[in-house]
């Protein structure tokens, strides 16, 4: 019986060991020690079952949590991998170079654009010391110590840095200018290295240099224009202009050059300005026949010449001559070669289209200077001849009183022609200014167009290049249009006034328009002064008269104010009031000059009366005005003035004039 119970006990215990949750129990009916053991064992089995059930529940829950976390982790891993691929695509798509550096100054990554810039494969650079590979030498060719390198410093101290004046070195040993930014890489506030963003700025520097060259060229051309207004001899003007030209650094010249002008016979060149030439050259090149040596060939053929060294075209040589090259530029005006500009170059200097274009611009400015100065000198000679004629006539008048009227008329004619000549010179200068600006703008537009063509040919065209060119083209075209329109207006105005002063014809005019044209033709006389002219006249007032007489009258009155009335004054003002009242034209001329005393007013219209005797005054200006008003225009003139109160002239003449012959030789009288 005892053994049976123990066997049963063992069977149940083995079963419970295999499956504690099966719920098997030992029989508890016995009242002996086996019954007590059974009860105790069953109680222990119940506790084990509860603990096992609780443990299995926890295991199931934990297993479920782990499975969920595993799924989330796999999702996160896939997202991280996708993000890494996306970031890598972005990194490779950026046109700027980007690379990373660890704390040991070794490259950790580099995008394809950066690797291409320095001529390496990206995989070749990983793990390489970046400074020794691409940043080892400075711009001046000296070694670049690691301790001075901004990239290395940032990888050590974590401070961001930028630089815009350094170079990176390619695998083939060449270099290129860069600007770059280096920023620290931090992980949990711990410095892990740095990242560098860099770009090749070669094209930007090239554009900047080109713009600086254009600015330098414009400054030189402006300086030459300014020199043309200096009241100094032509040779000195050309020497100053040559000094300005030789300051242009990008010609690589030897700071030597010369200006030659065609001589009076037109068969050779004469050196009129030079800088830096040896004594032997000054002697050998003082006079050069056309077609002889480089300068003579350029002048004879109107051809731009270049020489990289002393060649067979150098007819002028001497012992000890240093090897050199030349740019020879013809100085041309109206298809006429006036001379050449000779610049010395370093031996081997190659011909450059940009330099050639710049020299043509400079040569144009030089030609304008020469043309203006020669015109002024001719005008001075002509005026000197006129003055000599006036003095001769005056002596003859003093010796031959009976011929007074004849000589007086000749002097009046000379006075009128001198005034017309002065107006010609002034208008010529006034026209030169807008034409010169238009030419300079056209040349600049041509250069920019060539630059754009080169960009297009190199397949590097961008919207920025196009928009920049369109801005330049619009601005240059506007300048050219405005200045050519201005020149056209000046020519039209001058032609109208000049023809009227010589045609002696009666014709219909608009009073206000014609007075405006006269004042416009006189504008050069007001240059470099603060004097002003105000015209008060209504539009649409028409009359039939001698316009040339009105032009001569107003010209003489204005010149009288400028020479006499505004002497010593800074801000003179002339007011012209004109109106048609019935059948009569009333013209009131006022100035706020120094005025005249009663004796001056009384004798104002007398021939040869002047307050500037011995200072170039002929005394015929107001006498001509009086004759033109009273005889040619069949009107009247009166004058009022007081010392310090200015002067006023009131002129009246018929609106419809009786047509007669206007005799220029008779001082504007009628026959």
pLDDT for res 49: 77
Per-residue pLDDT tens over the stretch 212-234: 888 888 888 898 889 888 888 88
Statement to judge: residues 598 and 515 lie in one domain: yes
* 248 located within any domain: yes
**What token pair was written down for 563?**
């020479």
Residue 297 lies in a domain: yes
Residues 191, 119 share a domain: yes
- Residue 164 has a pLDDT of 87
Q: Are residues 33 and 168 in the same domain?
A: no
Do 130 and 213 belong to one domain?
A: no
Highest mean pLDDT among 297-301, 425-429, 443-447, 471-475: 297-301
What total number of domains does the chain contain? 4
Q: Domain holding 238: CATH number?
A: 3.30.450.40
Does the residue 418 lie in any domain?
Answer: no
Report the alpha-carbon distance of residue 638 to residue 392 in Å, rounded.
32
- Decide which of 173, 200, 227 is a domain's last residue: 200
Q: Which residue has the tokens 């200014």?
A: 433
Q: What is the pLDDT of residues 562-594, one digit of tens each?
A: 888 888 888 899 999 999 999 999 999 999 999
Contacts of residue 411, Cβ cutoff 8 Å, sequence gap at least 6:
390, 393, 394, 618, 620
Q: For residue 471, what pLDDT is reported?
A: 80
Q: What confidence score (pLDDT) does residue 587 get? A: 95
Instruction: Please give the distance of CA 150 from its chain centroid, rounded to a whole number.
Output: 36
The sheet that has 325-333: what strands, in order across it? 287-289, 268-275, 253-262, 336-345, 325-333, 305-307
- Do residues 165 and 151 make contact, with C-beta atoms less than 8 angstroms apart? no
Q: Is residue 631 domain-resident?
A: yes
Asked if the structure places residue 601 within a domain, the reply is yes
Classified as helix, coil or strand, 580 is strand
The answer on 646 and 556 residing in a single domain is yes
**Which of 323, 355, 378 is where one domain is finished?**
378
Question: Looking at the predicted structure, is the pLDDT value of residue 15 above 90?
Answer: no
* CA 494 – CA 424 distance, rounded (Å): 8
- Same domain? For 542 and 666 the reply is yes
**How would residue 549 be classed by pLDDT, with cut points 50, 70 and 90?**
confident
444 and 581 in one domain?
yes
Q: Are 494 and 534 in contact (CB under 8 A)?
A: no
Phi first, then psi, for residue 111 (nearest 5°) are -80, 165
Q: pLDDT tens digits, residue range 626-669? A: 888 888 888 999 999 999 899 999 999 999 886 654 444 344 43
Query: 482-517: per-residue pLDDT in tens?
Result: 667 666 655 655 555 554 454 567 888 899 998 988
User: Are 368 and 465 in a shared domain?
Assistant: no
444 and 579 assigned to the same domain: yes
For position 663, what pLDDT does the model report? Answer: 45
Residue 414 lies inside a defined structural domain of this protein: no
Question: Could you give the angle at the alpha carbon of 56 between the alpha carbons of 51 and 61, nearest 5°?
Answer: 130
Counting Cβ atoms within 10 Å, is residue 221 exposed (0-12), middle (13-18) or buried (19+)?
Answer: buried
Last residue of a domain, one of 200, 230, 261: 200
**How much is the pLDDT for 616?**
44
- CA dist 522 and 423 (Å) reads 7
The sheet with strand 584-591 has its strands ordered as: 532-536, 573-581, 584-591, 647-654, 636-641
Structural domain range at position 341: 208-378
Same domain, 231 and 195: no
Per the domain annotation, does 399 fall within a domain? no
Write the CATH number for 137: 3.30.450.20
Q: What percent of the chain has pLDDT over 70?
A: 82
Q: Is residue 89 part of a domain?
A: no
Which of 116-130, 366-380, 397-411 ranks highest by mean pLDDT?
A: 116-130
pLDDT of residue 614: 46
Question: What does the mean pLDDT of the chain come to?
Answer: 81
> What's 621's domain CATH number?
3.30.565.10
Question: Could you read off the pLDDT of 309-361 as tens digits, one per residue?
Answer: 888 898 888 777 888 889 999 999 888 899 999 999 888 888 888 888 888 99
pTM of the model: 0.41
Q: Is the same domain home to 131 and 182?
A: yes
Other Cβ atoms closer than 10 A to 341:
25
CA dist., res. 235 & res. 241, Å (int): 10
Same domain, 333 and 429: no
Q: What is the per-residue pLDDT for 627? A: 83
Contacts of 604 (CB under 8 A, 6+ apart): 596, 622, 639
What mean pLDDT comes out for the span 237-241?
Answer: 92
């Amino acid at each position: 019986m005892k053994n049976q119970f123990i066997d049963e006990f063992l069977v149940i215990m083995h079963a419970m060991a295999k499956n504690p949750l099966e719920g098997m129990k030992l029989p508890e009916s016995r009242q002996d020690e086996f019954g007590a053991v059974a009860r105790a064992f069953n109680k222990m089995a119940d506790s084990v079952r509860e603990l096992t059930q609780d443990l299995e529940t926890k295991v199931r829950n934990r297993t479920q949590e782990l499975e969920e976390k595993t799924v989330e982790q796999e999702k996160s891993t896939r997202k991280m991998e996708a993000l890494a691929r996306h970031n890598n695509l972005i990194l490779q798509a950026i046109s700027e170079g980007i690379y990373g550096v660890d704390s040991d100054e070794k490259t950790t990554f580099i995008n394809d654009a950066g690797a291409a810039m320095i001529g390496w494969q990206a995989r070749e650079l990983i793990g390489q010391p970046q400074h020794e590979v691409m940043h080892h030498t400075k711009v001046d060719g000296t070694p670049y110590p690691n301790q001075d390198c901004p990239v290395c410093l940032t990888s050590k101290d974590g401070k961001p840095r930028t630089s815009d004046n350094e170079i990176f070195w390619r695998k083939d040993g060449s270099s290129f200018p860069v600007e770059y930014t280096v920023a620290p890489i931090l992980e949990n506030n711990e410095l892990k290295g740095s990242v560098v963003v860099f770009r090749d700025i070669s094209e930007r520097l090239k554009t900047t240099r080109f713009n600086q060259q254009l600015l330098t060229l414009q400054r030189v051309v402006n300086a030459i224009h300014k020199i043309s207004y200096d009241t100094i001899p032509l040779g000195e003007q050309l020497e100053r202009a040559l000094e300005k030209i030789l300051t242009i650094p990008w010609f690589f010249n030897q700071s030597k050059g010369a200006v030659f002008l065609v001589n009076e016979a037109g068969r050779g060149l004469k050196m009129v300005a030079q800088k830096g030439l040896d004594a032997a050259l000054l002697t050998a090149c003082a006079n050069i026949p056309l077609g002889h040596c480089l300068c003579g060939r350029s002048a004879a053929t109107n051809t731009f010449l270049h020489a990289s060294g002393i060649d067979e075209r150098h007819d002028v040589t001497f012992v000890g001559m240093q090897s050199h090259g030349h740019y020879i530029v013809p100085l041309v005006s109206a298809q006429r070669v006036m001379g050449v500009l000779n610049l010395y170059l370093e031996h081997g200097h190659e011909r450059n289209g940009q330099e050639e274009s710049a020299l043509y611009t400079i040569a144009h400015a030089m030609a304008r200077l020469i043309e203006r100065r020669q015109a002024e000198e001719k005008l001075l000679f002509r005026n000197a001849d006129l003055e000599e004629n006036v003095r001769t006539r005056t002596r003859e008048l003093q010796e031959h009183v009976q011929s007074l009227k004849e000589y007086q008329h000749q002097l009046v004619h000379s006075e009128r022609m001198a005034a017309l000549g002065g107006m010609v010179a002034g208008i010529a200068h006034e026209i030169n200014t807008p034409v010169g600006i238009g030419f300079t703008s056209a040349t600049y537009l041509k250069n920019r167009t060539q630059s754009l063509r080169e960009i297009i040919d190199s397949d590097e065209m961008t919207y920025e290049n196009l928009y920049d060119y369109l801005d330049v083209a619009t601005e240059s075209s506007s300048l050219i249009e405005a200045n050519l329109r201005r020149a056209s207006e000046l020519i039209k105005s001058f032609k109208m006034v000049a023809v009227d002063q010589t045609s002696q014809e009666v014709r219909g005019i608009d009073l206000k328009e014609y007075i405006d044209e006269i004042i416009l033709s006189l504008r050069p006389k007001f240059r470099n002064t603060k004097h002003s002219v105000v015209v008060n006249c209504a539009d649409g007032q028409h009359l039939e008269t001698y316009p040339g007489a009105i032009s001569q009258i107003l010209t003489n009155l204005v010149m009288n104010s400028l020479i006499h009335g505004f002497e010593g004054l800074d801000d003179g003002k002339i007011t012209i009031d004109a109106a048609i009242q019935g059948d009569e034209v009333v013209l009131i001329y006022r100035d706020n000059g120094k005025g005249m005393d009663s004796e001056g007013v009384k004798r104002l219209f007398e021939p040869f009366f002047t307050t500037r005797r011995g200072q170039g005054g002929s005394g015929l200006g107001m006498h001509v005005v009086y004759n033109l008003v009273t005889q040619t225009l069949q009107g009247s003139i009166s004058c009022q003035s007081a010392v310090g109160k200015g002067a006023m002239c009131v002129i009246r003449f018929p609106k419809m004039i009786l047509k007669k012959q206007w005799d220029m030789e008779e001082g504007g009288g009628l026959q």
